[in-house]
Amino acid sequence: MLLDYDRMGWLRVALLGFTVLVAAFLLLPVVFIVLLSFGSSRWLAFPPPGWTLKWYGELFADPAWLEAALTSARIATITAMLAVLIGLLASFALVRGHFRGREILRGLLLTPMVLPVVVFAIAIYAFFLRLGLGGTTIGFVVAHTVLALPFAVIPIATALEGFDKSIEDAAIVCGASPLEAKLRITLPSIRIGIFSAAIFSFLASWDEVVVAIFMASPTLQTLPVKIWGSLRSDLSPVIAAASSLLVVLTLALMAVTALLRRKFRT
């Protein structure tokens, strides 16, 4: 009875115990970093000798952190909008189009997700050096959109595959123009896919480190570049404070996702 939860006996106890351990392992660094950010030890002693908000104070006192966060937010927002738009158009073609080589083209669009980022990073770095786009917002957005596109295409194409096209056809039979039918029938029906695409492509840019390290200039750096730089010089608790705010952001994103999914289902 290996797949019957109620009749597994001792095996269930063992597997459940193991699952709890792994969940604890996955949770450990996240909880640890939040606790650490309130600890008073500059040398990251744990458990800390006392509790403090000092590191958050230092974080907000340094305008470079805020500036990096705003740069990241700006680049990730534009990237997500572009990736969703381009990904939406591409998904319609990939799911509904009839042409030779469709699978190959799908594979090509998904390749940036598979190729090691470091290869793409040095390739686009060299390319943008020549075009004079290194260290510019446009350069960042273009490179991140290439990386984010697969994360937009997959959920949208999946949602579109699950949508019954005859409903769209029915709207057209009832007098809607093809564009109107798509905008008012199809898009609302696949909104979970579009929404997932937006979240994933935003995160793909927001969390992106490797391309950003190569692309950044002294005047334009994203939050991961700022964290990377600090990590390489010391393990200051200020990084823990910044990291904790990122954890809060992740939790907020998860909450919004859960809420919207519930709302979309009903």
Instruction: Please give the residues from 243 up to 262 whose contact with other proteins meets the rule CB under 8 A.
Output: 243, 246-247, 250-251, 253-254
Q: Which stretch binds other proteins (CB under 8 A): 50-58, 150-158, 167-175, 178-186?
A: 150-158
Among 42, 96, 184, 261, binds other proteins (CB under 8 A): 96
Instruction: Tell me the C-alpha distance between 229 and 200, whole Å.
Output: 25
Least distance in Å: CB of 63 to other proteins?
20
Contact segment (CB under 8 A) with other proteins among 52-60, 89-97, 168-176, 183-191 equals: 89-97
Residues in the chain: 266
What residue ranges in the chain does DSSP mark as E strands? none
With a CB cutoff of 8 Å and minimum separation 6, the contacts of 242 are 59, 65, 223, 227
- For position 138 contacting other proteins by CB under 8 A, the verdict is no
Cα dihedral 173, 176, 182, 185, rounded to 10, equals -80
Mapped onto helix, strand or coil, the DSSP state of residue 91 is helix
Which part of the chain contacts other proteins (CB under 8 A), choosing from 56-64, 104-112, 162-170, 183-191? 104-112
C-alpha span between 18 and 138 (Å, rounded) = 47
Footprint on residues 175-234 left by other proteins (CB under 8 A): 196, 200, 203, 207, 209-210, 213-214, 224, 227-228, 231
Site for other proteins in 43-62 (CB under 8 A): 43-46
Nearer to other proteins, 232 or 263 (CB): 232
76, 84, 153, 190: which one binds other proteins (CB under 8 A): 153
**Which of 59, 68, 80, 94 touches other proteins (CB under 8 A)?**
94
Q: Smallest distance from the beta carbon of 116 to other proteins, in angstroms? A: 2
Give the pair of three-digit tokens for residue 41: 């030890």
Rounded alpha-carbon distances, angstroms, from residue 16 to 4, 6, 10, 142, 256: 13, 12, 10, 45, 29
CA distance 204 to 107: 19
C-beta of 109 vs 220, nearer to other proteins? 109
